[in-house]
Amino acid sequence: MTDRVVDLRSDTITKPVVAMRLAMAAAEVGDDVYGEDPTVRALEDRVADLLGHESGLFTPSGSMANQLGIRLHVGPGQELIADELAHVLRAEMGAAAAFSGISSRSWTAPRGLLDPTEPLRLMHPNAGTYQVSTTAIVVENTHNFGGGTIQPLEAIRALREATQPLGVAMHLDGARLWNAHVATGIELSAYGQQFDTVSVCLSKGLGAPVGSVLAGSRELIAEARVWRKRYGGGMRQAGILAAAGLWALDHHIERLADDHGRARKFSEAVAGRFPGVIDPAHVQTNIVIADVGQAGWVAGDFVSRAAERGLRMYAVNERAVRLVWHLDVDDADTGYAADVVTTLIGQAA
């Protein structure tokens, strides 16, 4: 056991920095359910503009933002489709079915990478009275369980070009779209304008304590605002929270490159000793998937043994673990993580 803790379970575990806390304390506020919180409105407008959309809606969580976006496009008894590793299918507790009566199907996507031929093959718009009609496709960028995979803009555009004439909507789960933007240099709006709705998260890599924003047309966001209230997501003096998001947009986007660099450095250190456990070429952003099963480990056991040494991570399946870099992890922490992981793999080997 050790007193040292390096927490790489997720980039959601970040804590607001002092300057962010001061911005929150000084925020001008009002009742957001009445549309009277100026700081919330400023955040919504700014994010919508960054994404190339008309309007935005501040939500307590990324899951709520996604579920509101899906609800706008898919009615009860209709279906959305997404890849088999998608967060909306794997990690939102079946909310689309439980809350909205939405059916779903999935296609296979190695590392979560979008191949537009797969959803085009799977979807069935206007399926008639005996089958389920596809009315929306969800794309995740970057892809969480795929390992921080960046979706190629060309693939997104090809999918949009094929689906738009058929009336099939597209929603972007862009919880980590900031990472894709920083890694590629592609403008956020270039991604955002390919979708009818976009959700982005403020409480992951950007380090705000709470919140996501859903962006879309004025008409769609007005409808989403009604559903947010129905889902219990109406907030009052939420400017205190929105101020953290505004501060993060000013100070924490470009620094995501530091997280990407540390994730690559870690992956190269592990791959240098144990090729095949991690492919550094697949580490595009801040997420690393390590196949510890190659060394004979069960992922859950590996997570437990690493935790005894103060290194926290997440088991994504029986043989693989996920490590996520964020603003609370520095170079020394990264070196320590590499030492713990290579030591444990070496013991198993």
Looking at residues 233-253, what average pLDDT do you find? 97
The tens digit of pLDDT for each residue in 140-198 reads 999 999 999 999 999 999 999 999 999 999 999 999 999 999 999 999 999 999 999 99
Q: Is the domain of 96 the same as that of 232?
A: yes
Q: Is the domain of 185 the same as that of 321?
A: no
Residue 23: inside a domain: no
Q: Is the domain of 265 the same as that of 305?
A: yes
Q: Which of 227, 251, 275 delimits the end of a domain?
A: 251
Q: Is the domain of 112 the same as that of 90?
A: yes
Task: Assign residue 340 the CATH number of its domain.
Answer: 3.90.1150.10
The set of residues, in sequence order, having a beta carbon less than 8 Å from that of 26 and lying 6+ positions away, is: 243
The tens digit of pLDDT for each residue in 197-239 reads 999 999 999 999 999 999 999 999 999 999 999 999 999 999 9
Q: Which of 206, 230, 251 delimits the end of a domain?
A: 251
Q: Is the domain of 337 the same as that of 282?
A: yes
Task: Assign residue 79 the CATH number of its domain.
Answer: 3.40.640.10
Q: Does residue 142 have a cis bond before it (omega within 30 degrees)?
A: yes
Residue 202: inside a domain: yes
Residue 25: inside a domain: no
Q: Is the domain of 40 the same as that of 83?
A: yes
Number of domains in the chain: 2
Residue 22: inside a domain: no
What pLDDT is attached to residue 2? 72
Q: Is the domain of 86 the same as that of 192?
A: yes
Residue 36: inside a domain: yes
Residue 317: inside a domain: yes
| pTM to 2 decimal places | 0.97
Q: Is the domain of 43 the same as that of 125?
A: yes
Residue 123: inside a domain: yes
Q: Which domain holds residue 337?
A: 6-13+255-348
What pLDDT is attached to residue 349? 59
Q: Is the domain of 236 the same as that of 300?
A: no
Q: Which of 230, 251, 272 delimits the end of a domain?
A: 251
The tens digit of pLDDT for each residue in 32-86 reads 999 999 999 999 999 999 999 999 999 999 999 999 999 999 999 999 999 999 9
Residue 329: inside a domain: yes
The tens digit of pLDDT for each residue in 83-139 reads 999 999 999 999 999 999 999 999 999 999 999 999 999 999 999 999 999 999 999
What pLDDT is attached to residue 149? 98
